[in-house]
């Protein structure tokens, strides 16, 4: 019960931060560079719902545009994700298609065979051929993740990543550490000792996940669907870290401890003007890194 009440406390703080924050920035209107998969037709204007940058972002945007133009977005998404999953199970063969020492013609032939056997759509096939020709198949996993960001935005879905501390079972009892009432070294040592043990980890409790979804739903509006992805990270020591869009809300005990450490160093400096500048710089960096609400790069 104590753990649940603390999580609720974190959610309450998160709710206040969210409501006081400015609204999410609207999608960037620019269209990333795309490619055509069919003969010349009347050009259909397609806007990507999110502005993605970098090589992987450009490829993902190009695939999105091609899939929307052929009304095959869901099929293409399914095919790309299936291929990524299959590549993990047949790693030896797929590594061959990623090897830049293999001639481009050979890589393209292998991809064509894979697409034919899997009965992939023309959009997916042409896209994978382009990746093979340009030596970009090694980036397929990253491109697929960026593509999923676009398909989720297209469907009005918002992915929220919630990181909470580890909880584990031994027999019928659930154990945790009261990091609120023990020193930093003790709590860190405890979580370090259990990190590699084969115990069952439990994410955010269902009622807390539901409360978080409701909070986000109210903030984002009824036109958005919240999809929560949970992670367990013992290193945060307690509390929550919530990420969505370009926003990061760090309400972890680790963050609070860093803030306290920066305050301690600043107080020492105030009492001792001869304190080295290195220590003052450290305090500044700790304070900056441990901000409860920050914007991801």
Which tops the pLDDT comparison, 109 or 237? 109
Cβ atoms 10, 205 nearer than 8 A: no
Q: How many residues does the chain have?
A: 297
| DSSP symbols for 157-179 | EEEEEEEE---EEETTEEE---G
Cβ atoms 199, 167 nearer than 8 A: no
- Residue bearing tokens 């919630």: 162
Distance CA 122, CA 120 (A): 7
Identity of the highest mean pLDDT range in 11-15, 142-146, 264-268, 293-297: 142-146
User: pTM above 0.75?
Assistant: no
Q: Summarize pLDDT for 47-95 with one digit per residue, the tens.
A: 888 888 899 999 999 999 999 999 999 999 999 999 999 888 876 667 7
Nearest to 242 by CA among 206, 292, 287, 195: 292
In this predicted structure, the answer to whether residue 39 has a pLDDT above a threshold of 50 is no
Q: Which CATH class is domain 54-154?
A: mainly alpha
The predicted pLDDT at position 3 comes to 43
Report the alpha-carbon angle 132-138-141, nearest 5. Answer: 110
**Domain boundaries in the chain?**
2-23+157-250, 54-154
Cβ atoms 141, 95 nearer than 8 A: no
Q: Please give the DSSP secondary-structure letter assigned to residue 23.
A: P
Q: Summarize pLDDT for 267-282 with one digit per residue, the tens.
A: 766 666 665 555 556 6
């Amino acid at each position: 019960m104590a753990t649940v009440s603390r999580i609720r406390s974190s959610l309450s703080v998160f709710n206040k931060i969210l409501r006081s924050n400015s609204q999410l920035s609207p999608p960037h209107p620019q269209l990333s560079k795309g490619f055509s998969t069919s003969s010349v037709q009347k050009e259909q204007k397609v806007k990507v719902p999110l502005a993605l940058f970098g090589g992987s972002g450009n490829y993902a945007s190009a695939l999105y545009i091609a899939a929307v133009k052929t009304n095959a977005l869901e099929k293409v998404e399914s095919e790309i994700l299936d291929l990524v999953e299959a590549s993990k199970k047949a790693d030896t063969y797929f590594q061959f298609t990623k090897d830049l020492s293999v001639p481009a013609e050979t890589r393209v032939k292998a991809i064509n065979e894979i697409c034919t056997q899997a009965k992939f759509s023309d959009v997916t096939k042409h896209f994978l051929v382009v990746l093979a020709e340009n030596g970009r198949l090694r980036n397929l996993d990253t491109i697929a993740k960026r593509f999923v960001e676009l398909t989720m935005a297209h469907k009005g879905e918002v992915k929220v990543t919630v990181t909470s501390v580890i909880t584990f079972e031994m027999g019928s009892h659930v154990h945790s550490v009261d990091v609120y009432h023990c020193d930093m070294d003790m709590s860190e040592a405890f979580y370090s000792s259990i990190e590699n043990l084969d115990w069952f980890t439990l994410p955010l409790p269902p009622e807390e996940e539901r409360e978080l979804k409701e909070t986000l739903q109210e903030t984002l509006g009824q036109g958005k669907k919240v999809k929560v992805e949970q992670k367990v990270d013992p290193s945060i020591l307690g509390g929550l870290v919530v990420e969505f869009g370009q926003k990061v809300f760090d309400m972890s005990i680790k963050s609070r401890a860093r803030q306290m450490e920066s305050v301690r160093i600043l107080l020492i400096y105030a009492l001792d003007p001869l304190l080295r500048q290195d220590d003052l710089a450290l305090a500044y960096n700790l304070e900056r890194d441990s901000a409860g609400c920050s914007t991801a790069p």
